[in-house]
Structure 1
Amino acid sequence: MRSIKLLFLLLAVPLLFGCEEKHDVAGLDTFSQSQLIVWNGHLSEIIIKDIFTPPVASRIYSYPNIAAYEALAPAYPAYHSLSSQLNGLSAVPQPDATQELYLPVSSIIAFSTVSKKLILDELLMEAYEADYLAQIRKIGIREEVLKNSIAYGRQVGEHVLAWSKKDGYVETRALTRHVISKEPDAWQPTAPDYMPAVEPHWSKIRPFVMDSAAQCKPQMATAFDSVATSDFYKEAMEVYKLVKDTDEEKLLIARFWDDNPNVSYTTGHVTYFKQKLTPPGHWMSITSSAIRKNKLDMMEAAETYVMVATAVADGFISCWDAKYAYNSIRPDTYIERYIDADWDPILQTPPFPEFPSGHSVISSAAATVLTHKFGGAYAFVDSTQMAIGLPVRQFNSFDEAAVEVGESRIYGGIHFRPACDLGYKQGKEVGELVISKLRTRKAAQTAKL
């Protein structure tokens, strides 16, 4: 954590040492070091509780982290604002140079201000904020500085919220449902819940970095065919056999990367649901682990979260544009229709078209950004799923984890191989685009991000 002294020099205001009211600079800096990790954890908890779909979850992670970055950046002259880099984001308000502020507080308040308007459980987020401010006061901060810092955080948060309201999300809530096609190759609702298609208009959401939803199109998948000698039939047979002959390791991999936010279970006449982390939440957890392991200061942590969150969000927009353009049949439907009527996948099939694999796209996008930041030979332990009773998994790189994600979807019986392999390539293109277009550091800086 950069010293508060530098912050005050930047803002051209007097230092606070010698004041009667306690102001614990070292304590505040130490406490603030991990706060973005804490707050992304809070956000994940609420996203699980509120049962947001994966595309919506990716949007929810992005805006608060952008707000946190923007509120903190004025204390770090080496960092660029993201305004004019992210699509439609106008110049963000700057701190009043006549006031004393502690911008790490402003950063968290900006995060909280935005989060509260994107989730359902505002009261829980307000409780987290109240607890945070109580801890800040307990450590020791002048009340005037705290007041100014909160006000600036709110100002940045409101600016980001105003920008978020123009991304098309609200308008897509009123659009028509996806129309089910009768064509033999088209997606159909699947067991057990036969839910309607999720977010058929997500491609209309404004991207963060991409020029358009269609900028990073996947390569063409295998042409549909029901003939037993066809390539498509062979791909279906691969899924069929993997599920029929699954082993303990493949089963574990499928469940580890399931990340279905709302799994249904039926016992007799009773159906109940269990909520879990979303795919973007899983990669934000991996990001948090890397930030913690490398002891990044708060500004570098904010930068890393922004890069990952925007790559994942644009990954969903890109993927969903392709999903509803191709409207591809799921293995569950195809195999029961042409191979074995009694076959069931291991994982519950998500309610949207098959190609490309969303988890593959966003995992590759996130892994590409994280590799750029931490290197290609970054070994790590993913303990994300311990919360639901699954053991940790070890990887030699972020890319290795992203590849396993694709395999997990095939092992689970919910995707054909091209959706995962080509989805991986599509996500890599999105991640590389984010790296090339989103410049967080000024030219003199040599850091990777």
Structure 2
Amino acid sequence: MKLITRFLFILILANISACQPKPNPAGLDAFTRFQLIDWNKHLSHIIITDIFSPPVASRIYAYTNIAAYEALVPGYPACQSLAGQLNGLENVPAPEKGKEYYYPVASAEAFATVMKKLTLVPANTEKFETEYLEKIKKTGIKKEVLENSLAYGKKVGEHVIAWALKDNYLESRAMQRHMLSEKINEWQPTPPDYMQAVEPHWNTIRPFVMDSAAQCKPRNPTPFDTLPNSKFYKEAKEIYMLGENSDAEKQLIAKFWDDNPNVSYTKGHITYFKQKLTPGGHWITITSNVCKAKNINPMEQAEAFVFVTTSLADGFISCWDAKYKHVHIRPETYIEKYIDPEWDPLLQTPPFPEFPSGHSVISAAAATALTNLFGDNFAFTDSTQLAIGLPVRKFNSFYDASREAGMSRMYGGIHFRPANEYGAEEGKEVGNFVYQKLKTRRNGQLAKLP
């Protein structure tokens, strides 16, 4: 009798054990731990290849990372969806009851689904996606779990795409080009390419978190003047003298933060172009490096990317709203006309109005997001530009880096001081608004990362 009782007890334990969720295969969690960083790196490569302008790139970074976050949320009960918090985002599809999922795979698929829709050549992502899936399969993940997860990730991605298609981006493609003015204080195309103004209607794009494009207005720039004793002339003379007295360190700083996605070079009768990261892409790389250095979990990484990318995207919308309201003249145009006709800036002047500085706005916005998440006085090393042969730079804080990014535009000869300083104020306001409004945690507390 004792033997029968013991046998039945063992049988019951075996049945109970069979009903418990099986642990993930060894190596699966390790493989997916930093996958969001890998996917963002791939996206940056595609953005460089497709030559997206900085504002457009920021939009793509935001939608892809929001999709990745939303597909990961069901696996982390302490976190919540951003539906109802992000402008226009309705309830995201929930996983089906009774099905087993591995949410990091769903997250990657959501990212890939949105990325293929918003970039120019889906095949470039499909190849990366195929390689990713082959590596996932080698970890031993169950076929059913993999299929469930991919299907759910695709559903979330499609939901985010439907939301993205309502942000007025497509409509803005058909809007009238910026009309040049004959006023001497307004922006004019600059050498060497004399390009049309980029994204004059970017303020019509639906913000992600801000209430409107004009919510975080910068202070007004210095009134235009050509008299040598005027404040504006002195601001222009400051940029001129920075160029005339530049040293190796200032030139390195200017080039380190240049992040011009499409620089032209002319040799004889031949003009060719070199593509680089956008300013937003630079801060995506910084975010990636910080996440790895802190060794935070996938959900915490997703939170970091959501706060940074939405701050960047709203920062560009805010900045571009001000740019085309002021239509401010560039230093290159002013200095060559009123100070020295032979003067050239160190960097190529970007094709849009001067005020405020886009680098200053979005760098301050991203730095504010990262400071709110990881704390101030966070020392880090920025190796973003190793790929183009520039050395790493060390910073004592995120704000330290953003201030240097702003100053780099003055060293490069493409912005006046108010565009830098007032732009930084604007960006910080955007970053703080995003952080205060978005609640990724169910307890309602502001997100803080280890």
**TM-score, with structure 1 as normaliser:** 0.95
Which position in structure 2 is the counterpart of 1:317? 317
Match of 2:255 in 1: 255
- Deviations, residues 349-385 of structure 1 (Å, cap 9, x unaligned): 0000000000100000000010011110100000000
1:264 aligns to 2:261 (yes or no): no
Q: Which residue of 2 aligns with 1:336?
A: 336
Matched AA of 2:393: R
Instruction: Name the aligned partner's letter for residue 107 of structure 1.
Output: S
Aligned runs of 1:355-366 on 2, under 5 Å?
355-366=355-366
| Greater Rg over alpha carbons, structure | 2
For 1:419, the equivalent position in structure 2 comes to 419
Q: Cα deviations across residues 149-192 of structure 1 (Å, max 9, x unaligned)? A: 00000000000000000000000000010000000100000000
Measured against aligned partners, the alpha-carbon deviations of 1:300-355 in whole angstroms (never above 9, x if no partner) come to 00010000000000000000000000000000000001000000000000000000
Amino acid of the structure 1 residue aligned with 2:239? V
> Secondary structure at 1:272's aligned position in 2?
strand
Q: Which residue does 2:102 correspond to in 1?
A: 102
Q: How many angstroms does 1:400 deviate by?
A: 0.4
d(CA) in 2 for partners of 1:246 and 1:376? 31
1:168 and 2:168 are equivalent in the alignment: yes
1:442 CA drift (Å): 1.9
Secondary structure of the structure 2 residue equivalent to 1:139: coil
Specify the SS of the correspondent of 1:194: coil
Contact 2:58/2:316 (<8 A) preserved:
yes
Question: Cα offset for 1:440?
Answer: 0.6
Q: Is the 8 A contact 1:24 1:139 kept in 2?
A: no
| Structure 1, gaps ≥5 residues long | 1-12, 18-22
Q: Which amino acid aligns with 2:339?
A: I
Residue equivalent to 1:60 = 60
- Cα distance in 1 between the residues matched to 2:400 and 2:135: 39
Q: Which runs of 4+ in 1 moved over 4 A?
A: 13-16, 444-447
* Contact 1:266 1:272 (C-alpha < 8 Å) held by counterparts: yes
Q: Give the secondary-structure state (helix, strand or coil) at the position aligned to 2:110.
A: helix
User: Which residue in the other structure is 2:234 paired with?
Assistant: 234
- Equivalent residue, structure 1, for 2:112: 112
Question: Residues of 2 paired with 1:372 and 1:26: CA distance?
Answer: 35
Instruction: Tell me if 1:432 matches 2:432.
Output: yes
Question: Does the 8 A contact of 1:72 with 1:103 survive in 2?
Answer: yes
Q: Aligned-pair distance for 1:446?
A: 7.4
Identity %: 63
Q: Alpha-carbon deviations, 1:218-259, whole Å to 9, x = none?
A: 011100101110000000000001011100000000000000
Task: State the SS of the aligned residue for 1:277.
Answer: coil
1:384-425 deviation per Cα after TM superposition (whole angstroms, max 9, x unaligned) = 000000000000000000000111000000000000000000
Residue 92 of structure 1 corresponds to 92
One-letter code aligned to 1:104? P
How far did residue 143 of structure 1 move? 0.7
Distance 2:289 2:81 in 1: 25
Q: Are the counterparts in 2 of residues 365 and 430 from structure 1 also a CA contact under 8 Å?
A: yes
**CA deviation after TM superposition for structure 1 residue 443, in Å:** 1.8
Q: Does 1:149 align with 2:153?
A: no
Task: State the distance in 2 between where 1:26 and 1:365 align.
Answer: 39
Report the Cα distance in structure 1 between the residues aligned to 2:112 and 2:256, rounded to whole angstroms.
30
Matches within 5 A, 1:269-418: 269-418=269-418
TM-score in terms of structure 2 length? 0.95
Give the SS at the match of 1:431: helix
State the AA in 2 paired with 1:48.
Answer: I
Q: Indicate the residue corresponding to 1:83 in structure 2.
A: 83
